[in-house]
Amino acid sequence: MSYVADAKRYDGAQFRRCGRSGIVLPPISLGLWQNFGGTDVFETGRAMVRRAFDRGVTHFDLANNYGPPYGLAEKNFGEILRKDMLPYRNELIISSKAGWDMWPGPYGIGGSRKYLLASLDDSLKRMGLEYVDIYYSHRPWMDVPLEETMGALAQAVRQGKALYVGISSYSPERTREAAQILQSEGVPLLIHQPSYSMLNRWIEQGLLETLDELGVGCIAFSPLAQGLLTNKYLNDVPANSRVTTENSSLFQSFMNEENLGRVRALNDIASQRGQTLAQMAIAWALRDKRVTSALIGARNVEQLDNSLDAIEKLEFSEPELKEIDRYALDSGIDLWRDAREGRG
């Protein structure tokens, strides 16, 4: 039986304005970073996309090298689109990115015009799309002129292959430069995608102010701190957890007693609020109205539903925020710092 979306999917749905653009995004968006590649079951990913859309999630975020292997998340998402979602294409915001490594050789990584535009063509083929709604420079490259990288994004818009453009993991200073270059090309910078969580608060040191001044939206990825801010690690590391998988972004070194102590304390606060730790972590990331959306991942529909239920309680009292601030401290888990600061 073919999929028919829930007719009530927008009843009570919330949306937030993306900067000063004409676009709104759901407060929680679904990312396909971890669980839509070869190590996971296609039908599980398909069920999650359906469920998310049925619950008012209109934004699905990908990148060229999501998998594993690289490219498979886009290929699988393209199959889900063909099987289920094509009748609803105009209701969707679909994004992709390029910047990290994708194929061998010097032209399969970086911020060059050649790489970004070739990668976009490949992404469109894998997903079976004529355009993406948002195309990102996935990370800055200090050895590539910013004018070239932003010029490639602007060219993608002029070619009709992207409607909007964004950047990810750029510092406040380079964000400002990127926005100015794009403006000179006649293409506004729509959105910035930084890592942000209760254990990784770098965007509070200038980036949010910069985005607000520029009228640029903010979609925070990894609000669950690569899974640390869930109930998985309150006692021990489960044998089948993400930290034990090859090439995981959740490093064993993150599981030190200091970090786990913070997680347990935050879990106690979440319990007092009547939320799971994951729900509170997502709600906390959204407490600042300058954050347009929180970008989550999920392994299955049950996890997805738990995270989406965060919107049922987004408000915090001042005493709650003060208590959270005792434990919501930078915890050495920012994997993207070196790229942002030009050291990796």
Summarize pLDDT for 45-68 with one digit per residue, the tens. Answer: 999 999 999 999 999 999 999 999
Between CA 142 and CA 89 the distance in angstroms is 36
Residue 219, pLDDT > 90, answer yes
Q: What is the mean pLDDT of residues 319-339?
A: 96
pLDDT digits (tens, 9 = 90+) for 220-272: 999 999 999 999 888 766 555 555 455 554 556 777 889 999 999 999 999 99
**Contact in structure between 28 and 291 (CB atoms under 8 Å):** no
For the chain, percent of residues with pLDDT exceeding 70? 94
- Residue 279's alpha-carbon distances to 63, 132, 264, 308, in angstroms, are 25, 29, 14, 8
pLDDT at res. 1: 58
Grouping H, G, I as helix, E, B as strand and the rest as coil, residue 32 is coil
Between CA 307 and CA 297 the distance in angstroms is 9
**Contact in structure between 64 and 71 (CB atoms under 8 Å):** yes
**Contact in structure between 96 and 74 (CB atoms under 8 Å):** yes
The pair of structure tokens assigned to 136 is 């990102």
Residue 11, pLDDT > 70, answer yes
Range with the lowest mean pLDDT among 13-22, 66-75, 247-256? 247-256
pLDDT at res. 143: 96
Q: What is the mean pLDDT of residues 39-47?
A: 88
pLDDT at res. 251: 55
- Residue 104's alpha-carbon distances to 18, 101, 108, 153, 316, in angstroms, are 36, 8, 6, 22, 48
pLDDT digits (tens, 9 = 90+) for 166-184: 999 999 999 999 999 999 9
The pair of structure tokens assigned to 246 is 């090859």
- Residue 22's alpha-carbon distances to 61, 97, 178, 217, 311, in angstroms, are 19, 21, 20, 11, 23
